[in-house]
A and B are shown apart, each in its own frame.
Chain A
């Protein structure tokens, strides 16, 4: 039998199909010492066979962008009672199926708000002021050969539309104000006590905005929400920053708009089919590309780890979960 070298058989078992980034960094410190990790990715067996053979009594599973928990996988885990998301998103978890079967789901919401906000602003400044493009220009010896780099555009006075005003969106808004930007937003519902103008839909928001920053979760309503119509409304100088989920934007249409100059530029940490990047984007200097990691910081990872471990510990000792999503 594979994988029978557990140090202690008394530790509660947690299934990991593919390691989330926090596990890669904090396995020794946090997780392994408290739980017995069933590491599906280390097995040579195909996943369904592995699960059927070894995961029959597994009650808890970790999930992240790389390891979706689909109805098919849930069916192979008859003892499953909790899915613990180990990253910001939960769109990869079949929530309906979990709800139907009474399987708890926890997230790490709130942990990455500041990290994400710093990153979003970094990308916005980069696209508007062409920082990465100018850095490339210098590294290619062109400052010497060709002289000054073309001008960027000022942040102050720009109307920035935040799509989704949760913890992350609010952290972005606070930073934008310090640059003299005018903050607008769209959310499922208007937020009381928030000083920024609310727009009922993304299209209206885009009409009034110079830039859009995507801060919402990916779900059925938000999939491909940023489409050609929205992008044309944003306009030729408009910038899109996405560090949420690639599929919130209709990527094919975005690429077309960028290539045709129908929008002004984009900063993208996420794409629809990572790590595949549409070839056309490599030609564009008004696009900043990031391999789905700009949000990550040691602090964020530590906090996420503590929340994951906290939820698992609460679950295994029948205590209230720290960050359950099932009430939404």
Chain B
């Protein structure tokens, strides 16, 4: 990745300055050598790598910091922003930016970029994988085999007896024909839609605003979307408006055979309510990559075969880290050369 113009080696003092904002325990991914590659483009200031106390380091450099990269969930508050009067750009390294005070950024004229587009394929792949797993009980059946029950029971129970006849558990279903409601049709939601369409699913969505160029039916309320769906896939950002957007009403509207897939943020769902509904059989199943209080997962879920649990890794592959790195560098370079940013978080 050559700098614009010449191939000269800049000394680090001439490279644009970028602050690294993180908790000490959160570091750049070691592959693909993020930090080393960033250092060839930017002069990184990392307070945790200095013996100087954090506040003093920040204060000393404050007037030369126009951009920062934030790693991990460490919040960026209005108070913190006050310490950096020249800040013009925050580059988030995650899809979600709910840990950043966006209104404060807006009022200070600070642009924020996220990383959704770097992860969109991976998260969509995982959402579809979780959905197929729940519908077809792939992980549950794998447990059944590994517990050496197959030779004993002769077959994995496909269903249950209802009035004398063995019937299928309702959710051992074909994907084709299922109505899928996507909550949040951004870069991740669009990739989910593309994949599930190939399986023959019907797609509908809810978003902050209707998207005119999109052929799928739009529902202004998540409850209406749920009432018309067999599956909900949560792909939206966590904001004040979307906190617990999946509540009891929505779950009831989705129905006894409904399935929820969450690859957004745990707090999009009223988790306590969801767990109760799952335990009582008031909803068909769930595939969850995120939880309200990670890494704590409600113990009741461990008893359930219609739930698939994923340790917040839907976004993560070596390939998505490469894409993330390129996106970070591209956004920073665009900023420092006054060009349009690639993944600007739009105003609400």
Contact = CB atoms under 8 A, between A and B. Distances in A.
B313 A149 contact: yes
A291 B138 contact: no
Contacts of B126: 125, 129, 131
Contacts of B122: 154
A136 interface: yes
B279 interface: no
B80 interface: no
Interface string B6-32: 000000000000000000000000000
Contact of A298 (B155, B168, B197, B320): B168
A151 to B, nearest CB: 5
A144 interface: yes
Contacts of B151: 275-276
Contacts of B145: 277, 289-291
A175 B199 contact: yes
- Residue of A21, A276, A277 with highest tally of chain B CB at under 10 A: A277
Contacts of B139: 126, 131-132, 135-136
Interface stretch (A111-119, A211-219, A251-259): A111-119
A129 B263 CA distance: 14
A131 B308 contact: yes
Contacts of B313: 134, 148-149, 151-152
B95 to A, nearest CB: 15
Contact of A291 (B150, B197, B294): B150
Contact of A136 (B143, B144, B172, B197): B143
Given A139-B302, A148-B313, A118 B199 contact: yes
Given A25-B159, A134-B310, A153 B133 contact: no
A29 B136 CA distance: 24
Given A154-B121, A288-B138, A298 B172 contact: yes
A56 interface: no
A178 interface: yes
Interface residues on A, range: 35 or more
B166 interface: yes
B318 interface: yes
A104 interface: no
Interface in B129-151: 129-130, 132-133, 136, 138-139, 141-146, 148, 150-151
B309 interface: yes
A21 B199 CA distance: 25
Nearest to A131: B129
A64 to B, nearest CB: 12
Nearest to A295: B136
B309 A153 contact: no
Given A125-B129, A125-B132, A152-B317, A135 B308 contact: yes
A121 interface: yes
Interface stretch (B56-64, B173-181, B242-250, B333-341): B173-181
A180 interface: yes
- Residue of B128, B129, B295, B320 with highest tally of chain A CB at under 10 A: B129
Contact of B142 (A118, A290, A299): A290
Contacts of A148: 311-313
B347 interface: no
B122 to A, nearest CB: 6
B337 to A, nearest CB: 30
B318 A126 contact: no
A24 interface: yes
Interface residues on B, range: 35 or more
A88 to B, nearest CB: 15
A67 to B, nearest CB: 14
A101 B261 CA distance: 54
B173 A299 contact: yes
B174 A153 contact: no
Contacts of B320: 154
A114 B141 contact: no
A144 B198 contact: no
A156 B310 CA distance: 20
Interface in A170-198: 174-175, 177-180
Contacts of A28: 165
Contact of A114 (B142, B176, B194, B309): B176
Nearest to B121: A156
A225 interface: no
Given A119-B136, A138-B310, A300 B129 contact: no
Interface in B169-198: 170, 172-177, 194-195, 197-198
B136 A139 contact: no
B295 A114 contact: no
Contacts of A156: 121, 125, 319
Given A154-B125, A277-B145, A122 B138 contact: yes
Contacts of B141: 289-291, 293-294
Contacts of B165: 25, 28
Contacts of B198: 174-175, 177-178
Contact of B125 (A21, A155, A294): A155
A121 B132 contact: yes
B158 interface: yes
Nearest to A139: B302
19 contacts: A25-B168, A121-B199, A125-B128, A126-B133, A129-B129, A131-B139, A131-B308, A135-B310, A144-B296, A149-B313, A151-B313, A155-B121, A156-B121, A275-B154, A277-B145, A290-B145, A292-B155, A296-B172, A297-B174
Q: Return the 9 tightest CB-CB contacts between A and B, nearest first.
A: A122-B132, A125-B129, A178-B198, A154-B319, A289-B145, A275-B150, A138-B309, A143-B295, A143-B311
Interface of A: 21, 24-25, 28, 114-115, 118-119, 121-123, 125-126, 129, 131-132, 134-139, 143-144, 147-149, 151-157, 174-175, 177-180, 274-277, 282, 288-294, 296-301
